[in-house]
Amino acid sequence: MIKYNFDEIINRRETDSIKWSKKHLQENFGDEESIPMWIADMDFKVAQPIIEALTERAQHGIFGYGYKSDEFLESVVNWHKKRNGWDIEKEWILFTPGIIPALNFIVETFCKPGDKVIIQSPVYYPFANIITNNGCHIANNPLIFNNGKYEMNFSELERIAQDSRTKLMFLCSPHNPVGRVWTAEELQRLGEICLENNVLVVSDEIHSDLIYQPNCHIPFGKISEEFKMNSIICTSPSKTFNLAGLHISDIIIPNESLREELNHKLTTIDIDPGSFASVAQITAYNNGEEWLEQLIEYLQNNLDLIDKFIKERMQGVKLVRPEGTYLAWLDFSELNFTDVELQQMMQKKAKIALDDGYIFGAGGEHFQRINFACPRTILVKSLENIEKSLMDLVSIGR
């Protein structure tokens, strides 16, 4: 067994990392030295088998056009069987170089300008841009924040879905940024409403391998035959294995006619996995589980640390404890700061780069999202900076 060291601090500055680049930190947070706890990638080295396989591929020295080999497709089939008990077929899988491109292609393919797409804010903010950039309208069904827990508003969902212009629903499962892992009952109700109203469910399951027990991820297409035929399931090894820069995603569409429609678009644009993407996915899915189990344990300990730190040292701040993902949603509403004041405090005083809650849409105001997939010393330093800034503000009576 390899014992991975997630405490290791690795300098990412010279690797064109958006999260760490001085340029992006300066532009977005006004300080190139802010501690980067924003954008969703991890500061951990990937699993050793992936590094070795990529090195070997690089040594081969020829990087011509690639394709979705059987081995590539089988790695996805076996992964979903092993992790989620979900049986899928190789033929159902389309390749796109990321889920954002996939969602764009999906809206282009299945909607026409003026159509509506359902989202549930606060949610991963590119969803909104994808919809409006394609000439469609956002049909927002904000989540309900009930006693510290987020829930879906099913009666409102039903009302929105009944509009004949509503064609798609972007389901974020697990939900970024609030960290919910939706239960079978919740998915069942959502699926029924969409089915009854001819709304196609696009389930973005990019975070689905990062789940904290006793929660359990349920692939939307696994719930029933009818849901399977009324859904597009977007999956990827990128969050799970820290491979976002290799641009890999696997779009699972059991319904043949829907698949043919999307495939037509992808074939015209001519998209296939790159040489490194193929090797990375195959190795991650076939040999990455040992690393993943250790990663989840490390993340869980980071989460416990945040929980304890906030309870003991940040009065007025609350953690909405995520059931999955490495993103924690911090509630500052009790402190009565405006969003600008909160932003200024994080940027100018704490000198930490977090994602402002309001960018995730209605309901995100007064929250901040922190990415805790980093070595523990960096996490502690960030929390201490926030604590100190809060104490300074309290001491000057703000």
Ligand X SMILES: Cc1ncc(COP(=O)(O)O)c(C=O)c1O
> Site residues (CB under 6 A) for ligand X?
40, 98-100, 124, 172, 176, 204, 206, 236, 238, 244, 249
Minimum CB–partner distance for residue 313 and ligand X (Å): 28
Please identify, using beta-carbon distances, which residue of 230 and 240 lies nearer to ligand X.
240
Minimum CB–partner distance for residue 257 and ligand X (Å): 25
Please identify, using beta-carbon distances, which residue of 40 and 218 lies nearer to ligand X.
40
Please identify, using beta-carbon distances, which residue of 294 and 325 lies nearer to ligand X.
325
Please identify, using beta-carbon distances, which residue of 136 and 172 lies nearer to ligand X.
172
Please identify, using beta-carbon distances, which residue of 84 and 203 lies nearer to ligand X.
203
Minimum CB–partner distance for residue 50 and ligand X (Å): 17
Distance of CA 354 to the CA centre of its chain: 15
Please identify, using beta-carbon distances, which residue of 219 and 337 lies nearer to ligand X.
219
Minimum CB–partner distance for residue 145 and ligand X (Å): 19
Minimum CB–partner distance for residue 101 and ligand X (Å): 6
Please identify, using beta-carbon distances, which residue of 176 and 242 lies nearer to ligand X.
176
Minimum CB–partner distance for residue 244 and ligand X (Å): 5
Please identify, using beta-carbon distances, which residue of 209 and 387 lies nearer to ligand X.
209
- Give exposure, 79-92, as e/b (b: 16+ Cβ within 10 Å): bbeebbebebeeeb
Please identify, using beta-carbon distances, which residue of 123 and 282 lies nearer to ligand X.
123
Please identify, using beta-carbon distances, which residue of 200 and 206 lies nearer to ligand X.
206
Minimum CB–partner distance for residue 17 and ligand X (Å): 14
Minimum CB–partner distance for residue 127 and ligand X (Å): 8
Minimum CB–partner distance for residue 238 and ligand X (Å): 5
Report the C-alpha gap between 337 and 393 in whole angstroms.
11
- Residue facing ligand X at closest CB distance: 98
CB 373 within 8 A of CB 42: yes
SS (H, E, C) 292-329: HHHHHHHHHHHHHHHHHHHHHHCCCCEEECCCECCEEE
Minimum CB–partner distance for residue 177 and ligand X (Å): 8
CB 120 within 8 A of CB 144: no
Which among 59, 88, 101 has a CA at the least distance from the CA of 275?
A: 59
